[in-house]
Amino acid sequence: LHKEGRRATRRSLATSVPVTMAEGSDCDNIAVAAAPAPPAASAGSAAPASAYRTSKRWRLVVIGCGTSASTPKLQCVIRQRKSCLCNVPEYAQDPRDRRLNPSIVLSYQHVDASEPADTPCPSTAATAPTPAAPAADDVEDNDAPTADPSTWTNILVDCGKTFREAALRFFPEFGIRHIDEVLLTHYHMDAMGGLDDAREVQRLKNPVADIPSDSARTALVGAATLMGDDAALERLKAAWPKVPERPPPPGPRNMIPIRLFMDVRTTQVAQTSFPYLLRNPDMSRTAEGCCSRPRDLAAANRSHDPLKMLYIAQVQNVVLKPHTSFWIETLEITPIPLYHGPVISNGFAFRHKGADTQTVYFSDFRCVSSKPAAENERAPEIQRCDYDNLTMFVDRDAALQVLRRCRVEHMFLDALHATYRYASHSSLEETIATLLSLQRHGVDPDHTWLTGLCCDTRTIEVNDALATMFGSRDKVRCAHGGLNFLLAT
């Protein structure tokens, strides 16, 4: 269905949108003219067939696919490095090349039994402004789900330093109003540096009242009352006969805690980096089997801990077990440990209940020549890596068993640099070598998305080169912020 929708969109673009293509270029270089506004729908008319979509499915949204420093890199811009793509106008104008810390969101839409299976999508309403049509190479199924977003289950994979910017950029577009679960791949700041901002996206037990526009009057009346200044209080009340009531302050008592899924080492570092979030993590609470949420996750808020009264994120840690699957709603999640230089990073395999395909996310890895003996050991020799034996896996046999259990439809792979190699991240050439090795070992993804991209990777150029190598534009491509698709059911 996803592929048919892409083809239909391409046909629509070819017939209704004027396009101009640069000579000798590919689909990525299509310049699309502004599409004409659709005719207004008559009152009572049925929504077109394209305005409906099947409910109760998981949607994956990419909200970051850059490096820990993001792109464009700050040093390249402020130092005006002429040799860097960050200062090339064509690069700066392509929104796909503005990348934040690697992160994805998986959203599951709940639909009430009384509602029809298919519901109109508000993004196709005639009153909505018509955006510029996307390039045919990057058309995705980006119709926002239509059920009440407050009923969705949203899983965030990694909450890095740029999480706030990513949420401002993509959450409103895709109707994401809260985060229920967080999966952390490892303990670097590009994976967990934004945990403090999780308080802004926690699910609330009761809706928060809007702040009145004249809240300053309430504050001044309150100050005069506290100081016992009767003269000032009389003047204020004479000027403002009606003063709005003070709304209840935001606080943890109204928050439903977020569950943090992470391995033992990441839990220890998170406790050190965010002691006010994880004071006494429960290391016995492991992720295996059905990880349904307890009925009363807010019980911790009833304690007399002073920190529980502050406006900080409320979290509950869950320890990941390597290669041990667990379930959140209808999504089976399997952590796969990977070598990320001298540290361990977890990749994840996602599969909808009963589906014959899965989606794999490996955001931080590099094949190594020898297994690091300790965390503080020097990174393995950069030039000698065993790609054919897939030494990026901590346990290759167990990892391949997970990857071979069903067909891999989408796979995200780390590809930091296009020009040189790095000690803890796979470069573009190394990632392609790893992908070819995976194919020889019986893992051939339908679609491979490159993530963790630095500023020497220009989406248009790399996609053109990959299309030439693999003979298809859908086989291997660069990921970009806003990329989204539905997981197979």
Residue 251: predicted pLDDT: 66
pLDDT per residue over 8-55, tens digit each? 444 443 443 333 333 333 444 333 333 333 334 333 333 333 332 334
pLDDT score, position 464: 95
- Tell me the C-alpha distance between 368 and 370, whole Å: 5
pLDDT reported for residue 184: 97
Beta strands in 24-145 (DSSP E): 30-32, 52-54, 58-64, 103-108, 118-120
| pLDDT reported for residue 384 | 56
| Torsion sign over Cα 193, 142, 359, 96 | negative
Which of the two residues, 195 and 78, has the higher pLDDT score? Answer: 195
Per the CB < 8 A criterion, the answer to whether 487 and 408 are in contact is no
Q: How far is CA 267 from CA 164, 280, 321, in A?
A: 22, 10, 13
Dihedral pair phi/psi, residue 342, rounded to 5°: -85, 0
Residue 299's contacts (CB-CB under 8 Å, 6 or more residues apart) are: none
Average pLDDT value for residue range 179-183: 96
Mean pLDDT of 418-428: 86
pLDDT (mean) for 260-271: 95
pLDDT band at 468 (very low <50, low <70, confident <90, very high): very high
pLDDT of residue 231: 84
Share of the chain above pLDDT 70, in %: 67
Least confident of 9-23, 254-268, 330-344: 9-23
Residue with the bigger pLDDT between 213 and 452: it is: 452
How far apart are the two ends of the chain, measured CA to CA in Å? 11
Is 157:185 a contact under the CB 8 Å cutoff? yes
390: left (phi over 0), alpha (psi -120 to 50) or beta: left
Looking at per-residue pLDDT, the higher value among 39 and 420 belongs to 420
- Confidence class of residue 214 from pLDDT cuts 50, 70 and 90? low
Beta strands 255-256 and 203-204 are antiparallel
Mean of pLDDT over the chain: 76
pTM for the whole thing? 0.76
At 49 the pLDDT is: 31
